[in-house]
Amino acid sequence: MVVAGIREDADHYYPAESGGILLGYISDREAVITAFVDGGPRAIRLRDGFIPDQEYHVDSIARVYRDSGYQTTYLGDWHSHPDGPLALSWRDRRTLRRIAGYREARLPTPVLIIIGGSNDWSIAAWTVYSKSCSIIRQYPNLPIRTFP
């Protein structure tokens, strides 16, 4: 289960931030998240920041895409805000805009999931519309029905 796995990863690295990537497909203009990938073995997890293992993510995306018969692809990123809000930081907004503008990602509306809190995590999903970040959904409790 995607949300349970993200929660376990956030719990494991708490009180440092953790994160990773979201994988799935677009159906009727809706992102369907079917899997997530953790930060990777060379990720840097700090109390107030997270830097993913890019090589691990690129390899994971390629493998999952190939193994799914070229159906499951990169949809965006996720990360935790330990003891923090679900609000986007200026870095989160910049990341969303960069993903949307990165041609190779072929993803004009990437998803960014933030999981905030500690033992009682809450979750929010964000995307980019017209060069500004706008909330698409915010869920106060886990699990989330739209994720497998």
> Tell me, what CATH number does 89's domain have?
3.40.140.10
The answer to whether 105 and 74 are in contact (CB under 8 A) is yes
pLDDT recorded at residue 134: 66
d(CA 135, CA 137): 6
82: left (phi over 0), alpha (psi -120 to 50) or beta: beta
Residue 107 or residue 92, greater confidence: 92
Cis bond upstream, residue 41 (ω within 30) = no
Compute the average pLDDT of residues 113-120: 87
pLDDT recorded at residue 119: 77
Domain count, the chain: 1
Residue 97 or residue 131, greater confidence: 97
The DSSP 8-state label assigned to residue 3 in this structure reads H
Range of the domain at 101: 2-139
DSSP assignment string, 39-76: --TT-EEETTEEE--HHHHHHHHHHHHHHTTS--EEEE
The answer to whether 51 and 44 are in contact (CB under 8 A) is yes
Q: Is residue 23 a part of any domain in this protein? A: yes
Give 2's pLDDT tier (boundaries 50, 70, 90): confident
Q: Is residue 49 a part of any domain in this protein? A: yes
pLDDT in tens, 11-68: 999 999 999 999 998 877 778 889 999 999 999 999 999 999 999 999 999 999 999 9
Q: Is residue 112 a part of any domain in this protein? A: yes
Q: Is residue 82 a part of any domain in this protein? A: yes
